[in-house]
């Protein structure tokens, strides 16, 4: 498991990198499609590869509750279970506990919660979060952290840092496998000084020997707790002020941020990895992405429109289907609507990151950003509400 920083952009903080895993390598900056329940919705693994996906996500919380991490381990691990042989990142389940569980109560031991499926009570500890992810066989694991809602008072955020850092320490000490990675998560709400403090405290853990006298190291650093309702310019400020404190020799992962304009901006701020349900969830609701803005395919204006979603797009959907047909499928609630729309949206996102990497290789990420926003602002850029 190794990250190599290949190139830095001369005009921004953007970086080109390569991450080696036990299931193959991927280049950064990268967008990771979300496979919440061991599937990227409406997509076969073969289609994901054809679209250019090099790493996908799995969700610890959901897979722990159903079918169970031990079941997946008995069946050969998550890669074999879902027929995906590339890298997989799994989150720790903390965010889903706080957002989905019927009841959750935090303590030093972990978070006790009731399943949203059957009401059963579980205790998710840092040690169990690592046990689950190692049983799944993920290539990149995340520490258990506390994700506070927005807005949260500074006092509450400052108080939660101690718990987040201690849980990260216990996750680091619980890691047993050598052929996977563990990322720390920087919390701190919308308070830049608390973000910096959290990062510093997490990195201090690496200088302390554990009970066995070993000094352990995080393989990457994630920024969590953003894109939860705060204004995005505020999120940019937080990322920008935090980036100088993050190790240059490890990947930086901005969790859950996935609108195209946010990705393009945050790559320029030094972020390497992104994930979000935006392309797949939007596809199922008929919201489609193009370089000139977003189209809500259910609108009446597309009733007789013979054009593809985007005439410059080379995806399977745009090469074969009209806006009129896609509108018909969406209004008819046909399963094929989700498939074709998801193919297009994922193609758009994955191609956007490919173009960003090409711009970095050419040493002109500034030009890429300029062209991206010019096209977005001068084209048919409107964002209709579903």
| 272 belongs to the catalytic site | no
Whether the bond into 157 is cis, omega within 30 of 0: no
Which residues have CB under 8 Å from 384's CB, separation 6+? 294, 295, 296, 299
Annotated catalytic, 91?
Answer: yes
Burial class (CB in 10 A: 0-12, 13-18, 19+), 10: exposed
Cα(257)–Cα(235) distance, integer angstroms: 10
Catalytic residue among 145, 262, 275, 310: 275
* 232-242 and 192-204 helices, crossing angle to 10°: 40
Closest CA to 353 of 27, 4, 36: 27
> Within 10 A of 378 (CB to CB), how many other CB atoms are there?
9
Report CA 226 to chain centroid distance, whole Å.
Answer: 11
Angstrom CA distances, 265 to 15, 199, 221, 236, stand at: 13, 22, 19, 8
d(CA 307, CA 315): 14
Can you give the length of the chain in residues?
386
CA torsion sign, 290 to 296 to 298 to 303?
negative
| CB-count exposure of residue 139 (10 Å: 0-12, 13-18, 19+) | buried
Q: Phi then psi for 304, rounded to 5 degrees?
A: -120, 20
For residue 215, give the DSSP letter. P
DSSP state of 214: P
Catalytic residue among 9, 91, 262, 310: 91
Q: Which of 196, 199, 195 is CA-nearest to residue 183?
A: 199
Active site residues: 91, 275
């Amino acid at each position: 498991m190794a990250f190599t920083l290949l190139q830095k952009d001369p005009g921004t903080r953007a970086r080109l990198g390569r991450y080696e895993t036990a299931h193959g390598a991927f280049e950064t900056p990268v967008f990771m499609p979300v496979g919440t329940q061991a599937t990227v919705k409406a997509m076969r693994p073969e289609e994901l590869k054809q679209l250019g996906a090099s790493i996908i996500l799995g969700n610890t919380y959901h897979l722990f509750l159903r079918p169970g991490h031990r079941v997946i381990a008995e069946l050969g691990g998550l890669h074999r279970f879902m027929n995906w042989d590339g890298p997989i990142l799994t989150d720790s389940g903390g965010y889903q506990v706080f957002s989905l569980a019927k009841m959750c109560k935090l303590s030093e031991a972990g978070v006790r919660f009731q399943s949203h499926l059957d009401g059963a009570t579980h205790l998710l500890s840092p040690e169990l979060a690592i046990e689950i992810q190692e049983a799944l066989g993920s290539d990149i694991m995340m520490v258990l952290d506390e994700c506070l809602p927005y807005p949260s008072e500074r006092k509450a955020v400052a108080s939660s840092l101690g718990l987040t850092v201690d849980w990260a320490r216990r996750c680091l000490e619980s890691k047993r496998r050598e052929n996977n990675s563990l990322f720390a998560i920087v919390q701190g709400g919308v308070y830049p000084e608390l973000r910096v403090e959290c990062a510093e405290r997490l990195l201090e853990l690496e200088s302390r020997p554990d009970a066995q006298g070993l000094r352990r190291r995080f393989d990457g650093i994630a920024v969590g707790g953003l894109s939860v309702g705060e204004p995005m310019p505020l999120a940019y400020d937080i990322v920008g002020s935090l980036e100088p404190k993050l190790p240059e020799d490890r990947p930086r992962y901005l969790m859950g941020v996935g609108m195209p304009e946010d990705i393009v901006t945050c790559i320029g701020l030094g972020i390497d990895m992104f994930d979000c349900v935006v392309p797949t969830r939007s596809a199922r609701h008929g919201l489609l992405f193009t370089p000139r803005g977003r189209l809500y395919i259910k609108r009446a204006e597309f009733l007789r429109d013979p054009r593809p979603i985007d005439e410059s797009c080379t995806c399977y959907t745009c090469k074969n289907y009209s806006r009129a047909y896609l509108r018909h499928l969406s209004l008819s609630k046909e399963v094929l609507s989700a498939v074709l729309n998801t193919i297009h949206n994922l193609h758009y996102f994955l191609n956007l990151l490919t173009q960003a990497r090409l711009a970095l290789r050419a040493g002109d990420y500034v030009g890429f950003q300029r062209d991206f926003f010019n096209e977005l602002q001068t084209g048919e850029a409107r964002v209709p509400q579903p």
